[in-house]
Amino acid sequence: MSNRSENRSEFLVQAEAIVLENISDENFGVSELAMSLHMSRSNLLRKIKKETELSASQFIRNIRLQEAMTMLKDSSLSVSEISFHVGFGSTSYFIKCFREQYGFPPGEAGKNTVEHGGKSLSEGGKRKYQWLYLAGGIILIIAAVYFFTGPKVPAEPDLIEKSIAVLPFKNESSDSTNLYFVNGLMESTLSNLQKIRDLRVVSRTSSETYRNTAKSIPQIAEELNVNYLVEGSGQRVGNRVVLHIQLIEAATDKPIWVEQYDQEVVDIFDLQNDVARKIAEAIKVVVTPAELAQIEKIPTENMVAYDYFLQALDPFYSRTPEGLQKAIPLFEKATEEDPQFAMAYANLAISYYFLDFHQQQKHYTELINNYADKALLYDSKSDVSLISKALYYMHTEEYRLALPHLEKALEYNPNSNAVVQVLCNLYTSYIPDTAKYLKYALKGIQLDIAANDSVARGYIYLNLSNALIQNGFTDEALYYIDACIANAPSNPYASFLKVYIQYAKDQDLEKAKQGLIKELEKDTTRLDILQETAKLHYFQEDYEGAFRYYEKFVTAKRKYNLDIYPHEDLKIGEVYSRMGRKAESEVFFQNYRDYCQKDESIYKSASMAMLYAHEGKIEEGIEQLKIFATQDHFQYWILLFLEKDPMIRPLMQHPDYKTTIKQIEDRFWDNQEKLRESLEENDLL
């Protein structure tokens, strides 16, 4: 242990000693360390980051892991006993962290002390694998998703991450029209497994990419980052169904459970439920009584209704207008056969929602509501029923009413990629919360990591990159925006976002402005880039340059009657005023006042502070800044650009200004550190 203190500052030696004193206390974390050192949490974060390039939580965890390594070599305690002794509440999480730091599981610690070039692997391995935790977190994200493809080290079966993909089933019938029935068997298997929280189940869209693949099981498992795959083939012969299904362990490429079913169609639900239960048993998954009740639930007693329902699924999942128009009458026939068929009603509501999605004039609002209500009436504990009602509220722009339905849906189906993507959209666009946005973006990429084509993958990476930068994870965001561009070079938003991510890294305003100008040259109709280019001129107090771009932006807004970027009206008004356009500037100022009054987001107080600064109401402006300093999970752009805005200068003379700005900064970084800890604990980061 003494060698840890070599070449370390007195601060680090003291911090490490305090952690070691509390090594068995799993609740001893960053806040407790800061208190013991008589420092603020934010000062501790900055000091540790400066001296070690680690976050404070990583610093504490590494000390725990180093102590664990010593105990593994010098004591006869079990891995489980040591994990609790060094403050890990979960043995499986301890094994995961240990393997990431040292490159092998703790059970092999004694075997890995052989000499390698004069250094034991337990010491030299620290250097070899040091990049895993010194790379600022990005490698951890990649490992959590699927880019890290280092050697897989086997662990005890019950400690291996329980992740699975259900591959498209093969139709062995000579009658191709039976394909929908075989697909339905695959769909039900997937749906039942998704209801188990102890499993990570890859989405159907990712699995669907392997319908006609020639790739081997290990290749598919590696690409999907799963430990298990389900393969099936079946056929329907009259009133009988024949299904051959097997569960394959990716590490060995061998089946660990195989079953042949041959029974009447009327027993189809018993078959489906039996498959889910036996797969769960084979990989030692914990299935709660509530989850088992969800799995064993029968969607309908009417097999004719169920047959219509299965026929509708393929065109329904296409999400194209043509496919939805084909699915709707089939779902309607299903509800005619069984007037209490909740899933059919839910899918009708969802179908009409997507038909209306891109329509300026909505046609199906009442239909969506009626079908969603019927779905909930007949099955209020169905994730699909809850999704259908949430989409109705999104359709009517009552976004906060959609949230409880989506969160409840995720309780009943913790692997629902559909719910995760809708929550992503809500938390980035309608109910701003950067932490939840990032959480669901990371969850989404775990569930849907093999999108159908490179363009779709590009958008997945774009979304994740945007979520990362909003939370201040700059290097990670840069990695994923580059991945987006590599997969989809023509993505219209990727290079635009990269300009701002690069600004977050180097904070070169002129470079960012020139980058935006280049982006605008590619497409001069892009109003988003037009107003952003104007804004950077404004931040540089180049009001003439800002006016040139703002004028084009305003002209286009008026021409097409667009209500976009109302939060920018204060800046536009200031630029117009500087250019002698007083009457027009007053209109923008009033529009901004109206916007502030209506705003219900976490940014309202920041917007009001700028308005009061413009109006010369210094005390009121500072009070609003103080309110904003109590907000959580706001975008990193606030930190980067708040003090770049010339509008804020009148507030800078107030004696409370600097401390308030520091409180805003400290709150952001404190929240980021807590977010990192939470994501790492939940295997998302």
Query: Which secondary structure element, helix H or strand E, spans residue 260, and what is its range?
Result: strand 254-264
Q: Of 583, 581, 513, whose CA–CA distance to 547 is shortest?
A: 581
Is residue 145 included in any domain, yes or no?
no
**Do 102 and 181 have their domain in common?**
no
Cα dihedral: 237, 238, 239, 244 (round 10): 10
pLDDT over threshold 50, residue 494: yes
Angle between helices 454-470 and 474-487 (to 10 degrees): 160
Cα dihedral: 307, 310, 311, 316 (round 10): 150
The CATH code of the domain that includes 581 is: 1.25.40
The string of pLDDT tens digits covering residues 451-488 is 445 777 788 889 899 999 999 999 889 989 998 999 88
Q: How confident is the model at residue 190 (pLDDT cuts 50, 70, 90)?
A: confident
Q: Which residues pair with 232 in a beta bridge?
A: 245
What residue has token string 């730091």?
101
Q: How high is the pLDDT of residue 685?
A: 63
Cα dihedral: 102, 107, 109, 115 (round 10): -100
State which of 185-194, 265-274, 630-639 shows the largest mean pLDDT. Answer: 630-639
Q: How confident is the model at residue 429 (pLDDT cuts 50, 70, 90)?
A: confident
What residue has token string 């000499």?
115
Cα dihedral: 20, 26, 27, 32 (round 10): 10
β-pair type (228-237, 170-171): parallel
Q: How many structural domains are present in the chain? A: 4
**Do 539 and 574 have their domain in common?**
yes
**Do 561 and 495 have their domain in common?**
no
Among the three residues 295, 315, 337, which one is the final residue of a domain in this structure? 295
**Do 498 and 552 have their domain in common?**
no
Among the three residues 295, 313, 333, which one is the final residue of a domain in this structure? 295
What is the average per-residue pLDDT within 297-306? 93
Kindly write down the DSSP assignment for every residue of 271-290, as one continuous string. HHHHHHHHHHHHTT----HH
In this structure, are residues 275 and 189 in contact, taking their beta carbons and an 8 Å threshold? yes
**Do 537 and 488 have their domain in common?**
no
The string of pLDDT tens digits covering residues 366-406 is 999 999 999 999 999 999 999 999 999 999 989 999 999 99
Is residue 668 included in any domain, yes or no?
yes
**Do 270 and 310 have their domain in common?**
no
Query: Which secondary structure element, helix H or strand E, spans residue 661, and what is its range?
Result: helix 657-681
Is pLDDT larger for residue 150 or for residue 627? 627
Distance CA 26, CA 581 (A): 63
Q: How far is CA 313 from CA 18, 28, 192, 214, 264, in A?
A: 59, 50, 16, 25, 22
Q: How high is the pLDDT of residue 453?
A: 59
Q: How confident is the model at residue 147 (pLDDT cuts 50, 70, 90)?
A: very low
Is residue 116 included in any domain, yes or no?
yes
The CATH code of the domain that includes 200 is: 3.40.50.10070
Among the three residues 470, 503, 536, which one is the final residue of a domain in this structure? 503
Least confident of 1-5, 233-237, 329-333, 339-343: 1-5
β-pair type (240-249, 228-237): antiparallel
**Do 494 and 526 have their domain in common?**
no
In this structure, are residues 638 and 672 in contact, taking their beta carbons and an 8 Å threshold? no
State which of 139-143, 196-200, 214-218, 567-571 shows the largest mean pLDDT. Answer: 567-571
**Do 479 and 517 have their domain in common?**
no
Distance CA 155, CA 159 (A): 6
Is residue 140 included in any domain, yes or no?
no
Least confident of 14-23, 106-115, 300-309, 533-542: 106-115
**Do 346 and 426 have their domain in common?**
yes
The string of pLDDT tens digits covering residues 435-453 is 999 999 888 887 776 544 5
Least confident of 172-181, 246-255, 645-654: 172-181
155 three-class SS: coil
In this structure, are residues 494 and 460 in contact, taking their beta carbons and an 8 Å threshold? no
pLDDT over threshold 90, residue 258: yes
Q: What percent of the chain has pLDDT over 90?
A: 52
The CATH code of the domain that includes 443 is: 1.25.40.10
**Do 106 and 253 have their domain in common?**
no
In this structure, are residues 251 and 152 in contact, taking their beta carbons and an 8 Å threshold? yes
Is residue 144 included in any domain, yes or no?
no
Q: Which two tokens stand for residue 205?
A: 């869209």
**Do 118 and 187 have their domain in common?**
no
Is residue 59 included in any domain, yes or no?
yes
In this structure, are residues 264 and 239 in contact, taking their beta carbons and an 8 Å threshold? yes
Find the domain containing 631 and state its range. 511-678
Beta carbons within 8 Å of 590's beta carbon, 6+ residues apart? none
What residue has token string 């009442």?
366
The string of pLDDT tens digits covering residues 19-73 is 999 998 887 888 788 889 988 777 787 788 888 888 788 889 889 999 999 888 8
Distance CA 218, CA 680 (A): 27
What residue has token string 């493809």?
149
Distance CA 233, CA 173 (A): 10
Q: How high is the pLDDT of residue 110?
A: 61
Q: How high is the pLDDT of residue 498?
A: 96
The CATH code of the domain that includes 105 is: 1.10.10.60
Q: Is the dihedral of CA 294, 299, 301, 307 positive or negative?
A: negative
Q: How high is the pLDDT of residue 140?
A: 27
Query: Which secondary structure element, helix H or strand E, spans residue 109, and what is its range?
Result: none
493 three-class SS: coil
State which of 30-39, 413-422, 569-578 shows the largest mean pLDDT. Answer: 569-578
Distance CA 469, CA 517 (A): 21
**Do 315 and 289 have their domain in common?**
no
Kindly write down the DSSP assignment for every residue of 375-404, as one continuous string. HHHH-TT-HHHHHHHHHHHHHTT-HHHHHH
Distance CA 228, CA 218 (A): 10
In this structure, are residues 57 and 29 in contact, taking their beta carbons and an 8 Å threshold? yes
Distance CA 568, CA 591 (A): 10
Which value, in Å, is the radius of gyration of the alpha carbons in the chain?
28
Q: How confident is the model at residue 325 (pLDDT cuts 50, 70, 90)?
A: very high
Is residue 153 included in any domain, yes or no?
no
The rounded mean pLDDT for the chain is 85
Q: How high is the pLDDT of residue 443?
A: 84
Distance CA 286, CA 293 (A): 14
pLDDT over threshold 50, residue 148: no
Q: How high is the pLDDT of residue 118?
A: 33
Is residue 150 included in any domain, yes or no?
no
Cα dihedral: 605, 606, 612, 616 (round 10): 140
Helices (H) and strands (E) in the chain, counts: 35, 8
48 three-class SS: helix
pTM of the shown model: 0.67
